[in-house]
Structure 1
Amino acid sequence: MDYLLPCFISCLRRTTTTQKKWKIVFFILIIYGLDVVFCQAQYSIPEEMPEGSFIGNVAKDLGIDINRLISGKARVVTKGGRQYVALNRDKGNLVVKERIDREELCKQTTPCSFSFDLIIENPIQLHRVIVEVQDINDNAPKFPTVSVNLKIIENTPSGTRFPLDSAVDMDVGANGIQNYALNPANPFKLEIHNHADGNKRVEIVLQQDLDREERHELKLILAALDGGSPKKSGTVHINISVLDVNDNAPICNQTLYKVQVKENALIGTHLTTVNAVDADGGVNGQVSYSIGQANEAARKGFEVNSGTGEITLLQTLDFEKESSYLLYITAMDIGSLSDTCKVMIDVVDENDNSPTIQLMSFSHTIAEDSPLGNTVAVINVEDADFGKNGDVQCKINDNIPFKIELTVSDYFALITDDLLDRENIAEYNITILVSDQGIPALHSNKTLTVKISDVNDNPPVFMAEKYKTFINENNSPGVAVLTVKASDADWGPNARMSYFLDDSDVMGNSVSSFISINSDNGVIHAIRSFDYEQMKSFTFNVTARDGGSPPLSSQVVVNIMVQDQNDNAPQVLYPVQTGGSLVTEIVPRSADVGYLVTKVVAVDVDSGQNAWLSYKLQKATDRALFEVGPQNGEIRTVRQVTDKDAVKQKLIVVVEDNGLPSRSAVVNINVAVADSFPEVLSEFTDFTHGNDNLTFYLVLALAAVSFLFITCVVVIISVKIYRWRQSRVLYQSNLPVIPYYPPGYTDIGVTGTLPHMYNYDVCMTTNSRMSDCKYSTLGGKSVLVVDPSFTETMQRAMKENQLFQDDSSELSVLLVDPSFKETLQRAMKEKNFLDDVGSSELQKPPNNDWRMPPNQRPGPSGQHRFHTLQQRWTPYEKSRAGPRPEEAGAGAVGGTGPWPNPPHRSRTAPGSDGCSECK
């Protein structure tokens, strides 16, 4: 930006006010829209300057630093042709490189100038320099011929005009022809006619009648003068011969002929025919045609037939050198009378020049993250043709992220038009096609190869969105399970892959304890052996990371499914197969065909076809009687059961899975064909040979249940009677009710539903289950002592109620009512608290030999059941005929004693097994 402003100011100094406005707008567009800077300088020098002559200081005029010219390798580029100017980088001067001839450069065109471009690189700067060549008077006027011979009839009237060929001066402007002079002036006068094209036509006009007898020959000198300093001139001698009378001059049919000829017309091509008519007859009426005034190129390029007036082409035309020609055709009769007509020949441009492409600057490699509008190359395109034939269009091949734009003049910039992606296309062959507007159009092309450098802009991509694989259970540790593969569209280090396991939990353990992955090739190995029954599948993530900077990564979900192997045999759920007994099913003799005997229920912890179970009857006492459903395991009768069928039937059913190899389980089923239960029992002992205990347990259970039921009924009746008698004794006696709370006991509240008078309390200490009751004899009386504090409490209570006779330390019991003593002794004797009323020995605790384990207790509390389709009499301990033996013993110990308990709430020691409240 530092070099733009001086350049712009320098350009403004050499422009008019209107041009300054446009250049300001152009300068703003350059700053905001272009990468290449353009500025223009203009100089004016005279032609024919010697080589090395100073033209101007371009560095100063364009505002460019000398160091910038040197570092940017500034150079002068001429668009074809000769290079007239050279650049001195050290000083920034432009000097003449070779002789400049304005007439050779521009011919008659004015003003005359040539231009060239000053190019500076890094960054690229383009400057247009225009040099105007000023004309100097280095050419004198020149007539086409040295002398002109005219024949004039003597009776030529005054005012007759005789056209002469004009002189030609290669100089222009003031240095061109300014005037003509005729010497002597009589009998003719000189007239000069200015044409619109700047040329002058010279005629001499007869002022006096000629008299051949007086003077048959006249000599005149016509001089052409230019306006240079010093002036230069050219002359032509006019020799006039006075002829005999020929009083009619030829007359052209038209004064101006216009002809168009293509520049590639062949030599000899007929252009037009000039025609003039002379009223005279005979020889005096014969007209001849000739080219009069014309420049040297026109005289060499065309010819006219003197007899017919036909104008033909003598040489090939080149529109780029000369676009038009003007011929003056003189029609003259034999008497030298003549008329002049003009022939304007316009050369039609043909599209015979192909456009040219010149590469000014080019970057071979660009990064794929290059921004839009980044300049790749600067191109100069030219066409020497004119008009549409010289209008060029520049374009590039389609479907590429580049475009070409016109910057200034004939310069085009190749810039990026879209985001680049090396992964799609790493190299572009850009064909620059240039065509003109001619018919047919001519083309030129140039191919540029642009390479795209890689940027790490693509994350790894796995070959699958989700990986799923199967592994057989019981696999060997270290076996390869799966290979995950990711690809990266980048190149080189940006595409180098590394694989990692994402840390996650599988059944409470790290996933790395189950599998591992090779970071280089993505092969996943099993670390341990898998068991389908414990783990059917697990999922984890694998990360793929490339080697770019910064690296990019992506994840994929891997699901490993453990495939089941037939490593588990079927398990029979029903009927239950135990070592001690077998299930027995009863089939009535009235069973019809298809009667459902039982159903074998089995499961297989395997899955799939390994868990498909089939059932078959392997062995049976009577195969013709039973069959097994192969799919559902139902055992049904095949025929009608008859009386002849044995009561004892034994079936062996095989349950087999569908695995390879298959596994199986055997089920033994006993079937009793009978109509009544006693019939089954009569055969049961022999029937269950090998399972003898089954009959014993069934009979024992039946007897135990009956015995317990009768015992419970007797005990309940006894307890009720006893409690009723106790309550009556306490009610009839006038003993005060003393609530007794032994120390260390808590009140658990009244939980019964009967009134207090029908309640009795059992109180026990914390570990009363583990201790036996002790008896003591005080004063010759047998008293049950439960706790040492119990005696003191009772003595204090009875003393306060005058139950003691005196304060003797020896405890005595005052029997207020004789029946009280008898009742108490009888109750204690019934509860086995005393061997006899007068015994002084301690009663021993009851023997624990009667205690039995739960499975040997009488009654239906065991685990054995008797199964039939008609009845199931196993109670599963849902009811109990009576309390457990240990519960009964505890109640006997803790629930009886020598003293009647008043009807108050029960107390339970903290932490004890509790007090039983009977109702």
Structure 2
Amino acid sequence: MSEMTCALMLLAVVAASLDSSLSSSEVHFSQSVYTVTVNETAPPDHPRPQSGFLTLTCTPNSSYTIHYPTSDLPFEIDPDTGELNATADIDYDSMEEGFELFTFNVSCINAFSNASALALVQVYVAPVNEFLPQIDPSLVLNITEATPSGSLLLSSLPGAKHRLLVQDRDRGPHGQLNFTLLTSLGDHFSFNPIHGNLTLVRAIDFESEPSMFTYVYHELPVKIRVCDRDTDIEACPIIHFPLFIIASDDNEPTFLNASYSATVNESIAVGSSLLTLECSDADVYIGVVRRITFLDPPPDVEQTFSLQRPGGPESVEVVLATELDFDQRNQTYQFQMVCEDFLHTATATVTIHILDVNDNAPKFSNPLHETVVVPDTIASGAVHSVRCTDQDSGENSDIVYEILPQHSLFAVDQTGRVLVNIPLLLPDFTLSQSHNLSIQCRDKGSPSLSSNKTLTLTISKTDSQPPQINISHTSVSVLENSSTGMPVLTFSVYDVDSEAVIIAIASQSLPGTFVVSPSAPYNHPNYPVLIVNGSLDREDRATHLIHLVAISVSTTAQPQNTSFSLNISVEDINDNVPKCREESTVSLSGGEFRSTTILSLSCSDADVGLNQRLAYSLTNTAPPLSNGQFTIDQISGELRLEGVVDKGEYCLTVRVSDMGTPPMTTDVGIQVKVVEVEKGEVASNESGLPLMLIIIIVVVGIVVLVSMVGGCGLCCCCWYISRKRKNKDYFVSGSIGLDGMTVIAAPTAVQGTGSIVSHRLVPLMEDVSTIGNDEVTVTFNQATETSDFPGQRLSEL
């Protein structure tokens, strides 16, 4: 027999011996979970649970110990016998609901092998009926007849009108209460024994049930017995309390009519009764009518009317307090009256119409004065107009005009126009040149009232033609840089009837900007010149409206005038430079750009036309670009970048120019900051084959076995090292799509078997392999590292 065979046999004997020793030292409980129920402590009838209410059984020669949780645990265990005993009182009522269970672990440890086992212990606590229900005897229940049906009047739960204060210190089923109504309350109420709910099921009405409710309040005695589940009914407490039903103001007052109206003459005497209002209330005990009065009346209503109550608070008379005047005061009064009881109100609308009495004579609204009549233009026409007004209404205010006595030359129509009956033809007209007319205006009232005035008409020669303003156009233009005194327009004025004409500016949109002067080129008042008298700014005002007036100057006739409206347009000059926003700063990431817009300038010019159109040009770039250039669109002002831009700061100058003559320019500075792009780091992923050699020397002296195991381990290490020298691991960072899966921003290993392992691509040893629908080619050797993946680089681990 060889040495190797002897060693193997010895190992088998030692292993069998160890297995037998372990089997003989195994420790276990008779059951893994122990459950027991104990009553809560309730002295003196229910003393503390007796010792030994539970005994745990484990392998002999073991000791018992209570484990977690042990804090505030009212139990202990005998370490030798496994007997569980109570160490403190247990109060079920003080325990949190749902946690009436003690759960803990008990371990037993073998004295010889030091082996141990655990068992779960569950001790349920059962409640005991310890206490009687407790009640509050001071309850008094008050309701009113206005309490709506369905109202919860009394309950042991929150939310009722009155709370039935009852409690039982027992928790759980022994604390569940039952209520019994011991008195009859009639069909107005219902009682629920579960929570002691007393509910009003039918509304109470003192007015419809006078035989049952005959006083302001009605008292009902109430008795309710309160028991818990296990208490003898004779020992249950009874609560006594009164239920008071109080009459309330549950009916609103009502007017006999919703609205009242009256019509009276304005001449009615002060103190006269105009109308009577009546109000009633259905309540029999409380809430009767207290008063009827005005509801927020306007001041004129309180001054005009007063209230009298000859029949008590349920009726009121509206009486006239001051004289009425249809012509000076309201013709219709409308106001609200309110009827009040102690809680509710009702309103009614009162309308009083005032009728007019013819108590005002007509009055002339314009004074009468002499009127000049032109004999060669007035022929059977109106020479004057008069007007009368009357403060009365209807026919009392209709006016009739007359000339008294009637005149053969003049007449008056019913609109108040004084007319010429025949043409006035001087000098053939031989009647008096001055005529006094008595004009009367009277109303159509009954009796009729009138007024008279005297009108004097003087016949004389008048100006027959108004002056003429000769301007060929209604609009002209002027440059906005015109200086003061610059002529705008020369025109002429003429009047065939007057010796002279005065020309002036009646109004203009910007006062003082233009004036009229009889200056050159003619220096004659009939050829005036409109000149500039102030500064012009088209951007402030583009047009001006001028109203010219020509007034005739005559010593023998009434002056006449003519007006003319003229529009003056202010023409633009290039007097505004382009304006742009403040200088800008732009930040970019370095790299290659192909016609990239980096900024759009926003500029404007207050002028118009070509003076407003802008052009952009790039005048300076510092420092200049080496492989690229900045460009700007001449029309849009878009700043673009083309080519490769290195990291740094570039200062650009853009010139903005309008297209006026001469052009005006503005330079804008732009700062471009180029920052370097952060390059992605090449990820690395260390991998190795972990080797843990666990050598357990079972029997000292088996040198040959140890030598063989050591030799095998040495061979494995040599094989692993040689493999690592033969095949290298390559890693690539980034993302590669393979077989429908993309590895994003995760290190990807390339090793050498020609298959995919997790996220690894195994090198193909200078070969080509097809994976899924993507053909992946990896070519590398010991000297070089290359890959056909676009944009990827393999690095050696």
Q: Same fold (TM over 0.5)?
A: no
Which structure has the highest helix share of the two?
A: 1
**Structure 2 length-normalised TM:** 0.25
Q: Which one has the bigger strand percentage? A: 2
Structure with the greater alpha carbon radius of gyration: 1
